[in-house]
Structure 1
Amino acid sequence: MYDSFHPGQIWLDQEGKRIQAHGGSVFYLDGVYYWYGENKEKTTGDNNIWHWGVRCYASTDLYNWEDKGIIIPPAPDDLRSSLHPSSQMDRPHIIYNKETQKFVCWLKIMHKDGSQTVTVLTAEHILGPYEKVRENLRPLNMNAGDFDLVVADDGKAYYYFERVHSETICADLTADYTDVTGYYSTHFPHPYPPYVREATAHFYRNGKHYLATSGTTGYLPNPSEIAVADTWHGPYRVLGNLHPADNSDTSYHSQISSIFKVEGKKDLYIAVADRWMPKHMALDYNKYSKIFENRFNPNATEQIEVDDTLLKCILDKNTSVADYVWLPILFNGERPYIDWKESWKIEDYE
């Protein structure tokens, strides 16, 4: 039994197994927290398995999690399916539609040709079963990367996503939450990685909308960024690094996937993050970020030597041993920031 969080350490479920809910989010329903994400238990890097479905866990204290099983199973017998284990399925997000009384799940799918689409599923309960309602969706006819889904108090829903290697988009969802309406706004334009923002996570506090994002360096971590706005569509004002005390410029060797407010707490928001590469924390961020810039910048001239250590890391695809970094968000006025904590308790916050 756990009675506190231990960021970056191996986190086991109540059966003593590694929790597999990567790129994950937390949904609160009827006194129970549901933590769901990519099941990477078979993604060892020596096979062609990118995922083994979406797995979900349940908890009443946020420390100890019961495995509720795979709520969206893989489709190993259908090579053309976006749910085939070799399909690069990432970052499930589930929202609830009060009008249709359906849970709606969006999945990001990366294709071998470099394009990225969305698969949409619905269910009558958060634990499923889920039925596929859209596949190969190209929202706004764009390549749609990492994203977040958010429902406003009035029931309207919004889709924040990376227009791949370009900018961040905020798009209105249709009334049933299974598509976009066509209305959207653009934010944070950048010419190429690692500066393009991905892994967008939205939260709302004291009348302000916040977007936390990371740069684009694959599974290797990079400096986070936080921006604030008065409305869903902005304009967003960049406040700087969300992890300002982290001298490694790696967001404490993690990438945020979502942010949620703890029920019953006045002002406690938790950033849910993955430490995708726990075996490679000694790498120099500035060096490998230059590799990404050289790859995508057509005018790049600086040559970066890739030594054996860096090459080994870049080629390492074993995400079955990825860990989690859950940390509380602190505030200085309207400015959010995250400090490192070896361990911490919910009970220490109002």
Structure 2
Amino acid sequence: MNLKNLLVLAIICTCFIQNASAQVLSSISPGQIWPDQQGKHINAHGGGVLFHEGKYYWFGEHKTEGKSGNRANVGVGVYSSADLYNWNNEGIALKVAKENSGSEIEKGSIIERPKVIYNAKTKKFVMWFHLELKNQSYNAARTGVATSDKVTGPYTYVKSFRPNAGIWPMNFNDAWKNKTVKEADLKAWTDEWRKEVAEGLFVKRDLQKGQMARDMTLFVDDDGKAYHIYSSEENLTLHLAELTADYLAFTGKYITIEPGGHNEAPAIIKHQGKYYLVTSGCTGWDPNAARSFVADSIWGPWKSLGNPCVGEGADLTFKSQSTFILPVAGKKDTYIFMADRWTPENAIDGRYIWLPMTIEDGKPVIKWQDNWKLTKE
């Protein structure tokens, strides 16, 4: 057998082994290794899912091994699926730049919670994400945007910045704008400090340079308008901001939600005309009890509904943290609560907690299931 034939045989054998190692899945097992169609654990953490032209696309942080694996060493990964059980690795949608390149998204920066939406007018896929600049820990608190002509990429990085510089929230009390108290005048976590935070202490501090933007999600309403929801003000307050028609910038219309409430990891859906928001508290990589909110308008007011999780493990969101709520295409009122079970000592081993979410008596409800399937309806 000549060298050429040997090479062909080796390729055939390799493909056979890869296919043999892949499982055909027909259910979801939260917290377990979730193999892709190549047999490897899916690597798309803190992610979100876009349904486009009959397929689901799961975008998420590509982690690597060890503690340093939580940094952006590779970029944002993307997987595709027709059934939400079996996922094919489509590669890296947004690649980080080489070290010392001077790029804001060079290797070693932090890229978290990427979400992608499709703009039907521009025919562009738009990705937003939380960005921390290299060697600045979590001090930059910026939001970044990238675009692509193809859903799987490659995505081209556009820019990063802090949102809504020089603009007050629409639901901000005019009397608070004239306050002269400063952060240095207060002792953190006292009643007086909490009162000032709720009355815009950090909004005013960051007004000129733009508001901090960390944990985030995107939402496209029925009318095609898109919104960016992010944890701001030192993770103390959520901001909900309208995006421009091309989804590449902010219009300047935004509100604060739960000022001083210490919410992050936002995830949102619209159900029967109402908006439901699920968040987490702020305890670093450690899990805590989820929170939920409801509003008749995207602009609020938002009402607290408490912990949407019920049963054993509810007090720690089943040892996970929310990242996205996915409406299942073609299945009325069917939602999947997507969350991450972080493993900061070995980032690549993070697990996915996907569970059915229902709306019962006007409140979101999430119950643990070891294994579950989508209904046929």
Q: Fold conserved (TM > 0.5)?
A: yes
Q: 1:332-347 residue pairs with structure 2 within 5 A?
A: 332-347=360-375
Match of 2:224 in 1: 155
Q: Find the aligned partners of 2:101 and 2:91 in 1 and give their Cα distance.
A: 23
Is 2:353 the partner of 1:325?
yes
Q: Find the aligned partners of 1:319 and 1:48 in 2 and give their Cα distance.
A: 6
Is 2:309 the partner of 1:243?
yes
Does the 8 Å CA contact 1:3/1:63 hold for their aligned counterparts? Answer: yes
Match of 2:88 in 1: 66
Match of 1:185 in 2: 255
Change (3 A) 1:10 1:78: same
TM-score computed with the length of structure 1 as normaliser: 0.83
Letter in structure 2 aligned against 1:135: S
Q: 1:1-350 residue pairs with structure 2 within 5 A?
A: 1-40=24-63, 42-45=64-67, 49-111=71-133, 112=136, 114-140=139-165, 141-163=210-232, 164-190=234-260, 196-247=262-313, 249-277=315-343, 316-347=344-375, 350=377
Match of 2:19 in 1: none
* Higher helix fraction (1 or 2): 2
Letter in structure 2 aligned against 1:157: A
Letter in structure 2 aligned against 1:2: L
* Structure 2, unpaired ranges of 5+: 1-23, 166-209
Q: Find the aligned partners of 1:182 and 1:90 in 2 and give their Cα distance.
A: 23
Letter in structure 2 aligned against 1:330: T
The alpha-carbon deviation at position 74 of structure 1 amounts to 1.7
Does the 8 Å CA contact 1:82/1:89 hold for their aligned counterparts? Answer: no
DSSP-derived class of the 1:249 partner: helix
Letter in structure 2 aligned against 1:13: D
Does the 8 Å CA contact 1:146/1:161 hold for their aligned counterparts? Answer: yes
Number of equivalences: 306
Deviation digits for residues 5-36 of structure 1 (CA, Å, limit 9, x no counterpart): 00001101011111001011111111111111
The alpha-carbon deviation at position 53 of structure 1 amounts to 0.6
The alpha-carbon deviation at position 330 of structure 1 amounts to 2.1
% same residue: 40
Q: Find the aligned partners of 1:78 and 1:31 in 2 and give their Cα distance.
A: 40
DSSP-derived class of the 2:42 partner: coil
Greater shift, 75-84 or 221-230, is seen at 75-84
Change (3 A) 1:68 1:46: closer
Mark the structure with the bigger radius of gyration. Answer: 2
Letter in structure 2 aligned against 1:319: A
Does the 8 Å CA contact 1:71/1:127 hold for their aligned counterparts? Answer: yes
The alpha-carbon deviation at position 219 of structure 1 amounts to 1.2
Change (3 A) 1:48 1:14: closer
Deviation digits for residues 291-343 of structure 1 (CA, Å, limit 9, x no counterpart): xxxxxxxxxxxxxxxxxxxxxxxxx4421100101000023221111010000
Compute the RMSD of aligned alpha carbons.
Answer: 1.7
The alpha-carbon deviation at position 125 of structure 1 amounts to 1.4
Does the 8 Å CA contact 1:139/1:179 hold for their aligned counterparts? Answer: no
Q: Find the aligned partners of 1:318 and 1:51 in 2 and give their Cα distance.
A: 14
Q: Find the aligned partners of 1:89 and 1:49 in 2 and give their Cα distance.
A: 7
Greater shift, 167-176 or 205-214, is seen at 167-176
TM-score computed with the length of structure 2 as normaliser: 0.77
The alpha-carbon deviation at position 138 of structure 1 amounts to 4.0
The alpha-carbon deviation at position 47 of structure 1 amounts to 6.9
Does the 8 Å CA contact 2:99/2:108 hold for their aligned counterparts? Answer: no
Q: Find the aligned partners of 2:221 and 2:37 in 1 and give their Cα distance.
A: 34
DSSP-derived class of the 1:319 partner: helix
Q: Find the aligned partners of 2:302 and 2:323 in 1 and give their Cα distance.
A: 19
* Structure 1, unpaired ranges of 5+: 278-315
The alpha-carbon deviation at position 250 of structure 1 amounts to 0.9
Change (3 A) 1:145 1:139: farther
